Amino acid sequence: MKYLFVCVFLFVSSTIAGADLFWWGEDTDSPIGEINWSYGFSDGGDTVELAGTSVPSVSSGAHSGTYAARFNWTHSYSDDWSTRAAIQIASDGNGTDAIGVNMVTHDVSAYDYLTFWVKGVQGGELFKMCLNSGGYDTGIGEQQTDDLLITNYLAGVTTDWQRVVVPIADFTLDYQYDGHSGALDLGVLTGVRFKVESDLPNASSSVLIDDIYFTSVPEPSTVILLGAGILGLFFSAKSAGKRQ
């Protein structure tokens, strides 16, 4: 029984070890329709819904709290990469400065995962995600990672809220964006970007995004299953020892 207690303690305590960085989920700095320094853009005939120049926040059907961000776009397939629509969600702004002025940055180098919740309006929505750092008044050049497709991390977007867990190691620098390769500078992260462009099919789509975190702990169910596996191995070994 002593060994059982130790195993349980190890995997349960690991789920609460360390503090998460809460990137965005509740619009506390500015009125409805304005999410801090977040913004959106579209090019080449694509469109994206904005509230002024910012990302729309909706007060109905959020995953938690009052608000969720809405990414609502139209996209036409094209081989031209400039046919695109995107929103970029920043964190902890005060709602008064213009885009690119005193941009708040965060050091996320201590974290291993980006997590967020997503819900489709119709289900089956396809979009990509990337990270941005540097630029503005950070003292280093602006950097952006390659895009990661949502279906690499979910079987598919549905009309129910689902948690997405993305290893930060999966994000690598987009060489075509700034001429650099290697790892993103995680010490001056400025935004989490959701986007559609070029190779995705024609669509008019909308998703809600909520509760964006950076964390060092994988999805809780993964940790629990790991703990269950450890216990299973313990009892199997114990039973084998009795049979010998």
Q: What is the CATH number of domain 18-216?
A: 2.60.120.430
Q: What is the pLDDT of residue 123?
A: 96
Using 50, 70 and 90 to split pLDDT, how confident is the model at 136? low
Helix, strand, coil percent content, the chain, rounded in steps of 5: 20, 30, 50
**pLDDT tens across 30-57, in order?**
444 445 568 899 999 999 999 887 888 8
Query: Does residue 101 or residue 114 have the better pLDDT?
Result: 114
Domain boundaries, the chain: 1-17+219-244, 18-216
Using 50, 70 and 90 to split pLDDT, how confident is the model at 7? very low
Summary mean pLDDT of the chain: 76
Residue 66 scores a pLDDT above 60: yes
Query: Does residue 85 or residue 93 have the better pLDDT?
Result: 85
Q: What is the pLDDT of residue 243?
A: 52
Query: CB count, 10 Å around CB of 40?
Result: 25
Residue 103 scores a pLDDT above 70: no
**pLDDT tens across 162-180, in order?**
999 999 999 988 865 666 6
